Structure 1
Amino acid sequence: MQDSSSSSGLRLVAIPRLVAAGRWRVEAMRSLSEPCLLWFTKGQGRITIAGLTRGYTAHNAVFIPAGVMHGFEASASVFGTAVFFGRDCAVTLPKQPVHLRIRETQAQQEMNLLLDNVQREMEADTPAHDRATQHYLGLIGVWLERQSKKAEAETPKPDATRRLVARYTALLERDFRSGMGVADFAAALGVTPTHLTRCCNAACGRPASALLQDRRIFEARRMLSETRTPVGRIATDLGFNSAAYFTRAFQHLTGRSPSAFRRAP
């Protein structure tokens, strides 16, 4: 499937293209300013959404609302399509993250056909193709709602651990630039740092500090690759105590200094 886009901000991108500029763009913790649907058709890996890690395989549909922190493994064997709905999408979509394992062949074919139809209409110059695109997007929203209802009986209710980690990742996404440490976030959540870290390890196999550092370093990599902001200013903007500490943290996680990362093609 080719990449397609429209003036409304809607984009269909083949998942291998998402990592063409670096796997860190999908694997590191980050959030988007628009809703996103990941439809995996081949391969497997792990995906972390709001601090909860689960495995994914072929014919998994993962819907991620705007502002929800997430990251997923994307090896060379993973294929599928990412639908970015745009910031002003009027389609009715889930309010919470959804991870669906689609086992019915008919439901799998329905999603494939809907995506093909969206792409065809986006690329068309026939009358009312924009309106047709929106109608097909609406049907994707209906598909998600119906498949979510079917999966409700199989989906365990989030326990206290998962609820705490979801609150932590939401707070982290809001305040990761503030310079707050894990102890500060734990205090804001009314728990001890040890308890918060224990819950994060249980939910996603990573301590609370790793989620925080991953989010900050992702933003640093984005700013280094997409802007000309000086390294010292990036360190300040992301709440690091000094440019030297930022450089050490960045190099520890990425294997390169900020300047070397910026120079790399």
Structure 2
Amino acid sequence: MPGTDLRIIPLPTLFKGGKWRVEAMRSYSVDQLIWVTRGQGRLTVGGVTRGFGAHNAVFIPAHTTHSFEAAAGVFGMAVFLPADLGLNLPSTPCHLRIREAQDQNELSIVLDNLLREAESDRPARQTAMQNHAGLLAVWLERQRMEHEDSLAPTTAARRLVRRYAELVERDFHSPASVSDYAGQLGVTSTHLTRVCKQTCGKTASQFLADRKIAEARRLLADTGLPVKQIAKGLGFNSPAYFTRAFQGHTGATPLGFRKSVV
């Protein structure tokens, strides 16, 4: 049935499972809307890092690299919106600060109704959720017309890093290096590193390593794949090189990390 992957999850639940899961450089196969009602932190979406706080809405399209650094006490909701709902959703990420109480209340009502249906076993539950999701898309479209998007690619640096983030998300399983990505983008590695540092506080190589290691952690924690297979699947030349890179990034060996999260 269309829309069966439509989910709404409280942020504290989404952030469970350890700090590494919260801050992992990851992506999802469906669109995501995050509504923060309390607390603050920092987010990196598509290579741009910004602070977030209460009454912030963040839309993250499917397959967009992102991470969160959330302080204790962050609360809100995350809605996962599959493509088969046919909603008119943005193709690029956005981060909106919603200051009007009426706009805040409108979204809260839609999310409350979505959550109520998600937790019920009422007849036509799925249809009701899809209709509420449609109202959510309308709300987002209106807010994008009325509010400044703090993730907007308003500079050449942001546009370059967003494109780099898209390439990394597409190809991080390969052995491609920063030089390879820079070549595809028509710039030098030095320039790419400089603009990455400017927009998200990481060098280009750190950004690439973060994405690879985040995926390695996920595979180690959530699957039984051998370390050798994980290393090969992430483009490392050898299991030994993967182990050194993983330990340098996390402080633990791959097997040590796997044992710690079992």
With the length of structure 2 as denominator, give the TM-score of the two structures.
0.94
Moved more, 85-94 or 245-254: 85-94
Task: For structure 1, list consecutive stretches of 5 or more residues without a partner in the other structure.
Answer: 1-5
Match for 2:103: what amino acid? Answer: A
Hey, which bits of structure 1, 4+ residues long, moved more than 4 A?
Answer: 152-157
Deviation at 1:130, TM superposition (A): 2.1
Please show how residues 1-265 of structure 1 align to structure 2 within 5 Å: 8-152=4-148, 158-264=154-260, 265=262
- 2:96–2:148 Cα contact (<8 Å) kept: no
The alignment covers a number of residue pairs equal to 260
CA distance 1:113–1:149, shift in 2 (3 Å): same
Match for 2:21: what amino acid? Answer: R
CA RMSD in angstroms comes to 1.8
CA offset digits 1:44-65 (Å, max 9, x no partner): 1111111011110011000000
CA distance 1:173–1:154, shift in 2 (3 Å): closer
Deviation at 1:154, TM superposition (A): 8.2
Deviation at 1:76, TM superposition (A): 2.0
Deviation at 1:86, TM superposition (A): 2.9
Identity, in percent, stands at 54
Deviation at 1:119, TM superposition (A): 1.2
- 2:98–2:147 Cα contact (<8 Å) kept: no
Match of 1:239, SS? Answer: coil
CA distance 1:154–1:99, shift in 2 (3 Å): closer
CA offset digits 1:45-90 (Å, max 9, x no partner): 1111110111100110000000111111123221111111135332
Task: For structure 2, list consecutive stretches of 5 or more residues without a partner in the other structure.
Answer: none
Cα distance in 1 between the residues matched to 2:30 and 2:84: 8
